[in-house]
Amino acid sequence: MIITDTATTLRTRAWADYALIDSGDGKKLERYGDYLVVRPEPQCWWAPKYPELWDRVDATFDPAGDEDEGRWAFNRKPAEQWALSWRDVRFYGRFTSFRHLAFFPEQAANWEWQSAALKARPGARVLNLFGYTGVASLAAAAAGAKVTHVDASKKAIGWARDNAALSEMADAPIRWICEDARKYVQREVKRGSKYEAIILDPPKYGRGPTGEVWRLFEDLPEMIHLCAQLLSDDAAFLLLNAYAARVSGPALAHLLAEAVGPARGGTVDHGELTLIEDSKPPKGIKPSAVQPREIGLSFFARWQR
């Protein structure tokens, strides 16, 4: 097995239903469909390029201490949900209580990578752990995979099913399982289950449906070793993503390499997921001479055959 010695930056650029338009002063200005949204991003130390745009926003997330907690302030009445799309996958945007809009746009770089890998493996069995609202699961199914989607939140599973229906994929080969991810993986290991691909995107902290506690730094090593046992002999990949600030790409890579083991061969690469500001300003706004800025949002490591 080879661990690459050069980090990879997976960049997500604007697409039809999403764009990072501007950033600065500890915030980012984004477009979700036709909503202009401001969310906190402490690492944006620079000044905004288009200050005149920030007065036109539809929604602003006001953090209360922790940047993930707080409340939304609206300048127009928000829809409960609105349809968005990425390639063949459709899903709903929603103003959640944790500053997110029911999906993570920077993950588009991972969706693209996994879709390409799975198209070469029609019928591959994919396990998506901490699957949230299911966009990665739907992208995998659209690429021809058979997916097992696991999340501890009943609400998130419901939203994922709504997204499947919106994508006209209600009958796609996806199993929706509401359960603590660690318990599910432990049971799958005992069953001898195998998968050709595993997507693991755990939170920094979480709770299972019956009070189970997940802490990334304490629990990830066991989880990744269990996942490695679920890889079939001809598995295609194991993708690990983490958002915690104290995590690094190399740390994830070495943990993943240890879990998968040298006997499998293959390559482990690692790096960062970023969002890049749209190079085209909204209509009526004079283009800025400032080069589009790039915001790093999470780290990843992935083993592939």
41: in domain: no
204: in domain: yes
Q: How many domains are contained in the chain? A: 1
180: in domain: yes
Average pLDDT over the chain, rounded to an integer: 94
Over the stretch 267-291, which tens digit does the pLDDT of each residue have? 999 999 999 999 888 888 888 888 9
Over the stretch 131-149, which tens digit does the pLDDT of each residue have? 999 999 999 999 999 999 9
66: in domain: no
82: in domain: no
Over the stretch 94-107, which tens digit does the pLDDT of each residue have? 999 888 999 999 99
Q: Which of 192, 187, 165 is nearest to 83 (CA)?
A: 165
36: in domain: no
Residue partners of 133: CB distance under 8 A and separation at least 6: 91, 92, 102, 103, 156, 159, 160, 163
Query: What's the pLDDT score for residue 66?
Result: 60
Question: What is the full DSSP assignment across 86-152?
Answer: ETTEEEEE---TTS--SS-GGGHHHHHHHHHHHHTSTT-EEEEET-TTSHHHHHHHHTT-EEEEEES
DSSP 3-state of 35:
strand
The residue range of the domain holding 292 is 2-13+102-304
User: Please, which pLDDT band fits residue 65 given cuts at 50, 70 and 90?
Assistant: low
Q: Are 252 and 270 in contact (CB under 8 A)?
A: yes
**For residues 57-81, average pLDDT:** 87
CATH no. for residue 245?
Answer: 3.40.50.150
24: in domain: no
Q: Are strands 146-151 and 174-178 parallel, antiparallel or unpaired?
A: parallel
**For residues 212-218, average pLDDT:** 89
Query: pLDDT at residue 67 above 80?
Result: no
Query: What's the pLDDT score for residue 258?
Result: 95
User: Please, which pLDDT band fits residue 124 given cuts at 50, 70 and 90?
Assistant: very high
194: in domain: yes
Query: What's the pLDDT score for residue 284?
Result: 81
